[in-house]
Amino acid sequence: MILEVAVLTIAPAHKTQFESAFTEARKLISAMPGFVSHQLHRCIETDGRYLLLVQWLTVEHHMVGFRGSLQFQQWRALLGPFFSAPPAVEHYLAVSKGDAQ
């Protein structure tokens, strides 16, 4: 399993509209083959910055399956207008995991 980490920059005046659009967009991504889970976090220190975490079975499920799909085009149509900078996206493999004791 891999973790897609995307830093999203949204104009602060459009946060509410972005979060509303994300409610629709998440339905598209969650229906994709290889999708495991997602989390969207709003930054406390930087207004308009979000962190999107998506777990995929493989990088290919994200980069080929989702990014090459009609659903990705719909995803971008819903969310793209709110980006004030291109998203920074990277993929990670887990090295260590811990839970509260």
Interval 65-76: pLDDT, tens: 999 999 999 999
Interval 4-62: pLDDT, tens: 999 999 999 999 999 999 999 999 999 999 999 999 999 999 999 999 999 999 999 99
What pLDDT does 99 receive? Answer: 87
Please give the residue range of the domain that contains residue 28: 2-92
Instruction: Tell me whether residue 57 is in a domain.
Output: yes
* CA neighbor of 76 nearest in space, from 25, 34, 27: 25
What pLDDT does 26 receive? Answer: 97
What pLDDT does 101 receive? Answer: 82
Instruction: Tell me whether residue 48 is in a domain.
Output: yes
Instruction: Give the CATH number, domain containing residue 42.
Output: 3.30.70.100
- Count up the domains in the chain and report the number: 1
Instruction: Tell me whether residue 98 is in a domain.
Output: no
